[in-house]
Amino acid sequence: MVEANKVLKTVYGYKLVQVEAKNGVQYIVVLDEECQSLSSSVIDPQQRRMLIACLIHIFMSGGPVKEDDMWKFLSESGLLEENDYAGRKSFISTTTKQMYLLYTKVGDGELARNIFEWGKRATEELPKIFLLNKLAEALGKTPDHWYEQYKEATEGT
């Protein structure tokens, strides 16, 4: 694995990341350096826009986002039709399989709900400052307009 990781990094600019999965330890290949955008080969353009919006929404919310709130956000943003259940299912399937989003059930009984969180791949590949810059550009602001998120995004850099 060490040798394979060296080749991937040197030749292709990728790295292997170990992740815990339901069926044991798995490895995923991710970009080794901070990206300037989400790779267009990852998913189709519409789902890529939705994914970036979801990750920004989760980041700006300060943590996990309830499923209903996420669908409302995507609907109000014009990225997903309000009653597009097939689109929702496809989006969840694609982004969770690729480990960009975690979609989990929390709680029991009537209090149970599904939430969205950043997945391991998003954490590894997409710097929060990249997403904050995208949001700032879209809204005509500077990234430091959102002080807390800017501080979090730039810590350690």
Name the DSSP class of 29.
Answer: E
Q: What's this model's pTM, rounded to 2 decimal places?
A: 0.78
Residue whose structure tokens are 């950043």:
118
Report the relative pairing of strands 113-118 and 101-106 from DSSP bridges.
antiparallel
Q: Give the start-to-end residue ranges of the domains of the chain.
A: 1-32, 43-126
Residue 156 clears pLDDT 80, i.e. is over it: no
Task: Report pLDDT for 57.
Answer: 96
Q: Given a cut of 80, is residue 6 above it in pLDDT?
A: no
pLDDT at 95 over 80: yes
Element holding 105 (H helix, E strand): strand 101-106
The CA angle 105-110-114, to the nearest 5 degrees, is: 20
Indicate the CATH number for domain 43-126.
Answer: 1.10.10.1210
Chain segment 140-154, per-residue pLDDT in tens: 999 999 999 999 999
